[in-house]
Homo-oligomer: A and B are copies of this chain.
């Protein structure tokens, strides 16, 4: 029986957007994420703890990217993607108020099966963004 080498955590999750600056501003204003890198085709935002949200301009990642250390393979998606950020239970009311103050419409609020509460809203490209308190899954 072969044992898989271990994984530490999800490091990067990616979204594909039509206006890089608009999306960066949205995620930075709403979440306070620090920009780690930004160029004409992508923006990398630091997500607690030890994660990175990658925003790629549509068609900006469809060619291989030659960097000094090798070749980053191409990729590129479309449609309304989904991602979720874990937030502390204590922050739920603050999140609700924060979305309202930022004029981000709350699309849905769901009590999940293990008691966690999810708030769903859309980013400027219509991606489905969720913030969820502990109790969404058995491992968080």
Binding site for B on A (CB under 8 A): 2-14, 16, 29-33, 36, 44, 46-54, 56, 61, 67-88, 91, 94-95, 98, 101, 107-113, 118, 120, 127-128, 130-132, 136-140
Contacts and interface: CB of A to CB of B under 8 A. Distances in A.
Contacts of A94: 5
A82 B138 contact: no
A32 to B, nearest CB: 4
23 contacts: A4-B30, A5-B95, A6-B91, A7-B48, A7-B87, A8-B86, A9-B9, A9-B85, A10-B86, A11-B137, A36-B138, A44-B137, A46-B139, A50-B139, A50-B140, A51-B140, A56-B82, A69-B111, A71-B108, A73-B128, A75-B127, A76-B80, A77-B78
